[in-house]
Amino acid sequence: MKKILGILGLLIFVCSLTAIINPNFLGATNLFNTLRWTSLFGIISIGVAFVIITGGIDLSVGSTIGLVGTTLAYLLTVRHVSTPLAILIVLGLSLLIGLFHGLLITKVKLQPFIVTLCGLLLYRGAARFISNDQSLGFGSAFAGLRELAIGKVPIIGSVTLPLPLLIMTGIGIIAAVFLHRTIYGRYLLAIGRNETAVRFSGIRTDRIVILAYVVCSLLAGFGGILFALDVNSVQPSGLGEAYELYAIAGAVLGGCSLRGGEGSITGVIIGAAVLRVLYNAINILGIPTMLEYSIIGFVLLAGAIADEVVKRYAAKRKAARELLADDSVRSDEASA
């Protein structure tokens, strides 16, 4: 809970600062786009969070996005497959990718880093091969489908919200219920801290870990569809490139420990938002975009340091307080 408040504070701070320096930050279009992008990155961050909570990692998210986006464009524009079937195929593809990772990690006992690093290379290559490395545009033929990524939902009067925001909220709620209200969520958190003890308690930990990788790849695949529709023209070598890093950074900023066993969906979504707002701020404040990575790296590092310092300070304060309470009890006993 404290972690969520901390990251929420950071989000409000960055938003306020940006808005004060350049009020255009609060412009309707800018806010709408920032929310939209936050939602897209939020979806893939939630997926990665599942894997990170088990104590694993998925480096292949960006390439999965690239492969799914490219395949979707290829099926729709080159092979003229029907839209529902094309979507079904690419979601099935991402499910298989997750299953592939999960099986290699649990049954063959490979390290998640290695498996998904190879995935990162494999799927990027596959995307470029399928498309012959040519960019594929959706053109204007799929305007209806594109609404998924760029649609506006009227709320009150002229206020509209991006459709992806509603999609992400839905996914977020399901994910949060799964994590905190179901036994499988409990297993995930416990596995992240001590897989052996969970296995010795009769839980088929392999299945839970596989499930986490499937959820991660599936959400990456779903994100891939949205990212592809958002740009409307898929560049096989570029779509989703380095997005795994944004997803991981969002999850970690949002309170997931890379050691596993910790994390909340709300935190992850706010974490993703911080990254998008930073990106937006760099653009509208006229900061050289060359510095983008440096600034994001700096904020992540500052967050990690602050988290650690606050944790230590709180532990010290608590111990000191209890020692004091203890002494007063003892002097009471003595005077009685």
Partner 1 sequence: MPSFGDAPLLEVHGLSKRFPGVAALRNVSLTLQRSEVLAVIGENGAGKSTLMKILAGVQTPDAGEIRLNGQTVRIDSVHTAEKLGIALIHQELNLADNLTVAANVFLGREPLRFGLIDTKRMERETLPLLAQVGLDCSPATLVQDLSLGCQQMVEIAKALSVGARVLIMDEPTSSLSQHETDQLYAVVKDLRQRGVSIVYISHRLGEVTELADRVVVLRDGQNAGELSRVEITHEAMIRLMVGRDLSQLYQRPSHTLGEPLLEAYKLRTQANPRHALSLAVRAGEIVGIAGLVGAGRTDLLRALFGIDRALGGTIRVEGKKVELSGPHDAIEAGMALVPEDRKQQGLVLGMTVRPNLSLASLLRDSSRGLLNHAVENEITATMIRDLNIRTPGPEQTAQFLSGGNQQKIVLGKWLAMKPRILLLDEPTRGIDVGAKQEIYRLLDNLAAQGVAILFVSSEMEEIIRLADRAIVMHEGRITGELDRAACSEEAIMRLATGNL
User: Which positions touch partner 1 (CB under 8 A)?
Assistant: 181-184, 186-187, 189-190, 193-194, 196-204, 261, 315, 318-320, 322-323, 326, 330
Closest CA to 245 of 223, 270, 272: 272
Q: Minimum Å distance from CB 261 to partner 1?
A: 6
Separation CA 159–CA 32 (nearest Å) = 10
Name which of 51, 72, 60 is nearest 97 in CA terms.
60
Beta strands in 35-93 (DSSP E): none
Task: Give me the least distance between CB of 195 and partner 1, in Å please.
Answer: 9
- Return the number of the residue (152 or 207) whose C-beta is nearest partner 1: 207
Amino acid sitting at position 206: D
Among candidates 114, 101, 119, 118, which has minimal Cα distance to 50? 101
The distance of closest approach from Cβ of residue 80 to partner 1 in the complex, given in angstroms and rounded to an integer, is 41
In sequence order, which residues have a C-beta less than 8 Å from that of residue 163 and are 6 or more positions away?
Answer: 147, 148, 149, 150, 151, 152, 153
Min dist CB 312 to partner 1, Å, is 13
Name which of 15 and 191 has its Cβ closer to partner 1: 191
What values do phi and psi take at 82, rounded to 5?
-65, 150
Indicate the residue among 129 and 200 with the shorter CB distance to partner 1.
200
Least Å distance, CB 1 to partner 1, is 13
Nearer Cβ to partner 1 (187/246): 187
Q: What 3-state class would DSSP assign to 281?
A: helix
Task: Report the residue number, 152 or 318, with the smaller CB distance to partner 1.
Answer: 318
**How far does Cα 231 stand from its chain's mean position?**
19
- Choose between 188 and 277: whose C-beta lies nearer to partner 1: 188
Distance from C-alpha of 70 to C-alpha of 233, rounded to nearest angstrom: 9
Query: Least distance from C-beta 170 to partner 1, angstroms?
Result: 19
